[in-house]
Chains A and B, each alone.
Chain A
Amino acid sequence: MTFEHILFSIEDGVALLSLNRPEQLNSFNTKMHLEVREALKQVRHSDQVRVLLLTAEGRGFCAGQDLSDRNVAPGAEMPDLGESIERFYNPLVRTLRDLPLPVICAVNGVAAGAGANLPLACDLVLAARSASFIQAFCKIGLVPDSGGTWLLPRLVGMARAKALAMLGERLSAEQAERWGLIHRVVDDAALRDEALAMARHLASQPTYGLALIKRSLNASFDNSFDQQLELERDLQRLAGRSEDYREGVNAFMNKRTPEFKGR
């Protein structure tokens, strides 16, 4: 499958997925959804990929749903937005959260609507200094989707989550970093390189273990302390059987650099 609205490549264990409708600020239409889905399917089924880097082309990251794709002209039948959520946005954020590998998101510019929540479903978010996050939904009578209402209060607290969601004001990348919404702000010109360097570093690490870390941290919001302790026990059991653990211990004992395979 050749892609029209995204760029996709796999190199040295790093899958790079870049949204590529720069003229429309990389907003989602159905075709872009289908292409992203296909690319993520390849990521899931490849035994080469150890890290996914999600970013976008042009000056914006993603402006959410392409509204010109939705017919809400007077007299037209009211659209069922729930259906497009169920068909596209929910599977997308579920996939990003459930992918058994680290997912890095490099937010290169404005991230609005679903585009502001997509990064939050990733594991490590870098943002360009000029980037910003806008929960734009409230301005057109909608509710933050793509996991936003779940992730926001957990990341920045309820007071800030409500202000972001109900005022819809632009949140600068630097403020987002201070609030703990994202991991780190990077100078615009350095963003792509820093994100790639992080991806390449992680691709050389025990990525199976990293996937288990991701699984445990994702589960912690839902679990009680006791359930989480049980989960840690089970995941440690799995991690302890991995080739990478054996290699890590062996390299440590022999004072050499480990060579991890991601298994």
Chain B
Amino acid sequence: MPRYLHVQAPEQGVRLVILQRPEALNALCTELLAELASELDAAELDEQTRAVVITGSRKAFAAGADIGEMAERDLVGILNDPRVGHWQRIGAFSKPLIAAVNGYALGGGCELVMCADIVIAGDDARFGQPEINLGIIPGAGGTQRLLRAVGKPLAMQMVLTGEAISARHALQAGLVSEITQPELTVERALQVARSIAAKAPLAVRLAKEALLKAGDTDLASGLRFERHAFTLLAGTADRNEGIRAFQEKRPAQFKGR
């Protein structure tokens, strides 16, 4: 049983992972991170799971890393930090990951948001990388994914000043895909997850992979990858079912093969 996570299966094909460390505004201590990585590993292997929603509390998605824990690590401790491996596992999750963000998403919390594929935020959410205030820098993608998400000037401003931005600003900058009333954030994220869960799983997986390629390769390679993925799907039963259902004006029944 995870200590810092509460996992639900609110509907067919969807898992809802709730970060639960209220005494520390869901600060991502190593144990929490390890639990999250294991949870995503499990969701990866579970054929029934088609999409995962991750959320925190009304007040905080996750307000950073555990500072006390970090202070104890010296240079060698940081070189051998198990967190690196946990972050890699989280970042490598191949199914759609949707973040439902209310309140603070700071430091590691903001980095976790950026590991998600889709971000639904409550309109009072705050996003920031305040590491610079502690004499450190983001260490889990904050300098890399943020720049790709919002562009250089805003990424520089956020990382160098440590100042947080509002949900509206984050939406405008491209860090967030949609904002909604805070009470409806999780519900809206689950709706999106439900919609994805009803699609052909192989097409969803290859679409996610192709989209992520766009962020870290040149256009020609990306287009080549997309074409290969497109071609691969031609051999699937779900593709034939999808096209036939469209022609016959009925809902498709996808089987994941």
Binding site for B on A (CB under 8 A): 231, 234-235, 237-238
Contact = CB atoms under 8 A, between A and B. Distances in A.
A234 B184 CA distance: 8
The 5 lowest CB-CB distance pairs between A and B, nearest first, are: A234-B181, A238-B183, A234-B184, A234-B180, A235-B181
Contacts, number: 9
Contacts of B184: 234, 237-238
A238 B182 CA distance: 11
Interface of B: 180-181, 183-184
User: Which one of B180, B181, B184 has the highest number of Cβ atoms from chain A below 10 Å of its Cβ?
Assistant: B181
Nearest to A238: B183
Contacts of A237: 184
A82 B183 CA distance: 33
Contacts of A231: 181
Contacts of A238: 181, 183-184
Contacts of B181: 231, 234-235, 238
A235 B184 CA distance: 9
A234 B188 CA distance: 10
A235 B123 CA distance: 13
B189 to A, nearest CB: 14
Contacts of B183: 238
A231 B183 CA distance: 12
Nearest to B181: A234
Contacts of B180: 234
9 contacts: A231-B181, A234-B180, A234-B181, A234-B184, A235-B181, A237-B184, A238-B181, A238-B183, A238-B184
A235 B181 CA distance: 8
A174 B191 CA distance: 51
A234 B183 CA distance: 9
A2 B187 CA distance: 42
A237 B184 CA distance: 9
